[in-house]
Amino acid sequence: MNIRNIAIIAHVDHGKTTLVDKILHHTNVFRDNQETGELIMDSNDLERERGITIFSKNASVQYKGVKINVIDTPGHADFGGEVERVLKMADGVILLVDAFEGPMPQTRFVLQKALALNLKPIVVINKVDKANCRPDEVHDSVFELFFNLDATEEQLNFPTYYGSGKNGWFNDSLTQSEDITPLIDGILKYVPEPKIAEGTLQLQITSLDYSTFLGRIAVGRIARGSIKENQPVSLMKADGTIKKTRVRELYVFEALGKKKVTEVLAGDICAVVGIEDFGIGDTIADFDEPEALPIIPVDEPTMNMLFSINNSPFFAKDGKFVTSRHLRDRLMKETEKNLALRVLDTDSADSFMVYGRGILHLGVLIETMRREGYELTVGQPQVILKEVDGKKCEPYETLVVDVPQEFASKVIDLVTRRKGEMLIMETKGDMQHLEFEIPSRGLIGLRTQMLTGTAGEAVMAHRFNDYKPWKGPIPGRNNGVLIAKENGTTTGYSIDKLQDRGFFFVDPGEEVYKGMIIGENNKPGDLVVNPNEGKKLTNMRASGTDGATSIAPKTLMTLEECMEYIQHDECIEVTPNNIRMRKTILDEEERKRQQKVMKADSVG
């Protein structure tokens, strides 16, 4: 059977998942009267809420007698581990580029991986119906990017399609076509059929699925040979060991689901059930004469966080899983399918060090766990340091900011204060395009400041670059915090009297505890306040004589914003219903003692 394997790659928010929707609709995957909604492939609740793709997914469609396996990939740099693996399953890529923004850092990263694997590229310039779009300039900058990445003569001769995924048309010129037929015809024309080598079975596991009934499911593309149901096979692991096992069931992808089959031939992507203890990159090979495929390298994590059990006074108030055993089992289970994640035990039985690709990568894990009913405490994110040639080195990232011209100086000031260096400054339409090289530490907390300083107009993107020498201390949060003095319920009377001290993260009537962070101080330095004080009512002062209090609503912060906000002596309490910031040491006297000890140590 004719097969084409194609991955869709792009920077975050350039329209990959919308394009997959249009391909699924155009090839009649759904009944005419079927309600499908939008962003069909983003099936996870978190993906739908955030409007981003987190996990790569497979679908397949039939078109003109050809089976097209479509792989939707994440566009965010924190999930680069997903992209690196799944490109191994493809023979061609659709590189999607926004007609206004042009190539972005993640575009460069995924394209570099695709060209290195010698995949056939098709460039699609999306959103040509947007105001200020510049498709011709973007086409030139894409060509320049290919050239800079040492693309071959054949790769430089890429076909280009223009269109609007939202409006459902793509054409090989800027004239509007009726639908996306020209693009799907282009996939059949330009993407080669899978190259199949002669020899016995070889299937590299590039992804995994999980089912409560079937357990862990290995997903990959058959490089050569064929695989059958109940066939005895060898599992060749990354450490060189070979394990004899048997295939229990086989599935191929059909539309958005899987179809059970008895045999799959080389070139197709399939899911294998029944293999135990496999890892990503392992090879399923012939039983008698096994040969392994090269291991898939995955970029190392750049950030770590301490995950601990919840030890606040509100422990186990709204979580189902609260013990260290629950926490450890859940984190270990996550490492089975989340390649870029590492979990290490610490000196304490209640704490684990978790390593990931960035704040969003770790944030998505924490958010998923709290929705499953876990309670935990997480510390401040820290970058991972390495020693290179005897020097202390830290991770650096390429940061790209597009911002209206009047805010450009503000952005440059914010980034240079955090040890960033400007590499490129150019004008794109009404926007200023700025590129910096900045230590990863400098990015923690930068997004909030950037959006405040540019009235929400800045568009930020960053991508891990390399390890370079340590840049010295970077200033953290400017202001201190307001800390609750004792356990109790906040009152409107008390918060009203404290409003001139700063702004609050709690409303009247909320339960707080000693050591909990309830607001931000207007000045540097922390301030312990009592938000629970009630109004003294006497005969002289009846309840209605004072003017009604006017309290500003509390400032709501997302999990990622809290992770960027906290300092080294603070942590976040995460439960299914609440996200609270607190001091690691809740008792004020104990905190002061600790500070004295630390000062004495630093002087000594």
Q: One-letter amino acid identity for 45? A: D
50-58 own/partner pairs: CB under 8 Å, 24+ apart? 51/13, 52/12, 52/13, 52/76, 53/16, 53/17, 53/79, 54/79, 54/82, 54/364, 55/79, 55/82, 56/82, 56/83, 56/85, 56/86, 56/207, 58/89, 58/207, 58/219, 58/253, 58/269
237 appears as a binding residue in the annotation: no
15 appears as a binding residue in the annotation: yes
310 appears as a binding residue in the annotation: no
Across 19-41, b (16+ Cβ under 10 Å) vs e yields: bbbbbbbbbebeeeeeeeeebbb
Helix (H) or strand (E) holding 185: helix 181-190
Question: What's the chain's Rg over C-alpha atoms?
Answer: 27
Contact 321, 327 (CB under 8 A): yes
17 appears as a binding residue in the annotation: yes
How would DSSP label each residue in 247-281?
--EEEEEEBTEEEEESEEETT-EEEEES--S--TT
| Encoded tokens for 332 | 């270990």
In angstroms, rounded to a whole number, what is the distance separating the alpha carbons of residues 576 and 582? Answer: 17
Contact 435, 415 (CB under 8 A): no
In angstroms, rounded to a whole number, what is the distance separating the alpha carbons of residues 280 and 82? Answer: 11
Q: Is the dihedral of CA 213, 216, 222, 227 positive or negative?
A: negative
Neighbours of 557 (CB within 10 A): 16
Neighbours of 218 (CB within 10 A): 24
In angstroms, rounded to a whole number, what is the distance separating the alpha carbons of residues 125 and 449? Answer: 32
Q: Residue 539 region, left (φ>0) first, then alpha (ψ -120 to 50), else beta? A: alpha
274 appears as a binding residue in the annotation: no
Q: One-letter amino acid identity for 594? A: Q
36 appears as a binding residue in the annotation: no
350 appears as a binding residue in the annotation: no
Scanning the structure block, which residue is given the tokens 């958005």?
256
In angstroms, rounded to a whole number, what is the distance separating the alpha carbons of residues 349 and 341? Answer: 20
Residue 65 half-sphere exposure, CB side, CA atoms within 13 Å? 2
In angstroms, rounded to a whole number, what is the distance separating the alpha carbons of residues 545 and 566? Answer: 41
What is the number of residues in the chain?
604
45 appears as a binding residue in the annotation: no
Contact 96, 15 (CB under 8 A): yes
| Encoded tokens for 486 | 């004792």
In angstroms, rounded to a whole number, what is the distance separating the alpha carbons of residues 190 and 179? Answer: 19
Gap between the terminal Cα atoms of the chain: 75
Query: Residues at the annotated binding site?
Result: 13-18, 126-129
Query: Residues at the annotated binding site for GTP?
Result: 13-18, 126-129
